[in-house]
Structure 1
Amino acid sequence: MDKDKDVEKENKISENSNVANDATKEKEHVSKEETTPSIFDESFIKEQEKKAEEKTEISGAEPKGESRPEEAPKIEKKEEVIEEPKIFAVKTSIGHERIVAESIRNKAEKKKAEVYAILCPATIRGYVFVESNNYDALSELVKGLPKVRGVVKGEAPIKEIEPFLTPKPLVSGIQEGDIVELVAGPFKGEKARVHQIDEAREEITVELIEAMVAIPITVRGDHVRVIEKEKKK
């Protein structure tokens, strides 16, 4: 009897121990569930969102030790400034204006220089007018040419040149009775008196002074040079 009571007592103790163990395991399980955050918990969601943002920022940052290639600087295109042609006066030895003008023209064609026009007025001695873009370039062009004495600094006033730009009639400045010298033709060097002027044809009729017989001769207006004006009565 005593043995049966002892066995029964031991069984009860074993059952109580198992129950206690089960209770402990259940409590541990419950505590784990309480400490593990639920995916529906607001604080857990916010924490996950914060971590995601931090990852995005880190991925977007430049790796250490590496740098982005520098962009090439933009080169601004400058508009080309085109200089307008100007007129410059080239000083020459007196009596060699036409020779200088021809020399400048030939050299400009050879060098392909920017020379657009050359004016050599008969009434202005010692100067030739050249239309060009640049003073320095023109000075370099005429340097070393025979009978050239340099380029006058500054642009030549257009008002002083305008009268020479408009062609005058060949008979301009010639009047009936003037004494002229023939500068071209078979009677070159002879003196004559102006007898008649034809402005439409730009011709004049003259009579040789030293001829035995007064024979009228018709010549072009630029084939004579006035040496004495008719005296007004």
Structure 2
Amino acid sequence: MYFVVKVTSGQENIAANILQSKLSKGDAPIYSIIVIEGLRGYIIVEAQDELACRNFITKERSIKGIIPKPMDPADVEKLIATKSTAQDISRNDIVEFTSGPFKGYKAKVLKVDELKSDITVELMDVVVPIPITTKMNTAKIIQRANAEGS
């Protein structure tokens, strides 16, 4: 079962490392700890059940709590798949936002920062085009740059 664990925003990797270290020292029924880039303030823990997860994360630094309802494995797969498909966005691609305040808008990619998983885009069909930097996993490619001959 997958559980969403609330952590201090920006401390997802630190919290996961703390839990990983704790896991290597004990025999808790924890199967995986997942950090998804762009999912700020949360990590996903695969555990035997909610009680095992709750006991495992209790009294750890940077960890604020657990959302008691287990997450559907298909939703976890979607989150992981979104991350991997977002990696192949490149300069001059046309993307459409799938989440966030610009959901449904189309934009041209100006710059890609793979290290931070950020893209800088310019919205299309707006009066004044302004560059916007956002996470890669908030957009999907609808037209490749090389397809249009750029």
Identity of aligned residues (%): 21
Structure 1 residue aligned with 2:30: 115
Distance 1:109 1:178, change over 3 A: same
- In structure 1, distance between residues paired with 2:84 and 2:69: 28
Shift of 1:163: 1.4
Q: 2:66 aligns with which of 122, 127, 151?
A: 151
Give TM-score, length-normalised by structure 1. Answer: 0.41
Larger Rg: 1
Checking the alignment, whether the CA contact within 8 Å between 2:33 and 2:44 is kept in structure 1 is: yes
Q: 1:228 aligns with which of 108, 120, 123?
A: 120
Structure 2, gaps ≥5 residues long: 93-108, 126-150
Q: Residue deviations 1:53-75, cap 9 Å, x none? A: xxxxxxxxxxxxxxxxxxxxxxx
Structure 1, gaps ≥5 residues long: 1-85, 182-221
Task: List, as ranges, runs of 4+ consecutive aligned residues in structure 1 with deviation greater than 2 Å.
Answer: 157-160, 164-167, 169-177, 222-228, 230-233
Structure (1/2) with the larger helix percentage: 1
Q: How does 1:120-199 map to 2 (within 5 A)?
A: 120-166=35-81, 168-169=84-85, 171-176=87-92, 178-181=110-113
Q: CA RMSD in A?
A: 2.3
Give TM-score, length-normalised by structure 2. Answer: 0.61
Checking the alignment, whether the CA contact within 8 Å between 2:37 and 2:117 is kept in structure 1 is: no
Give the number of equivalent residue pairs: 108
| Structure 1 letter corresponding to 2:88 | S
Structure (1/2) with the larger strand percentage: 2
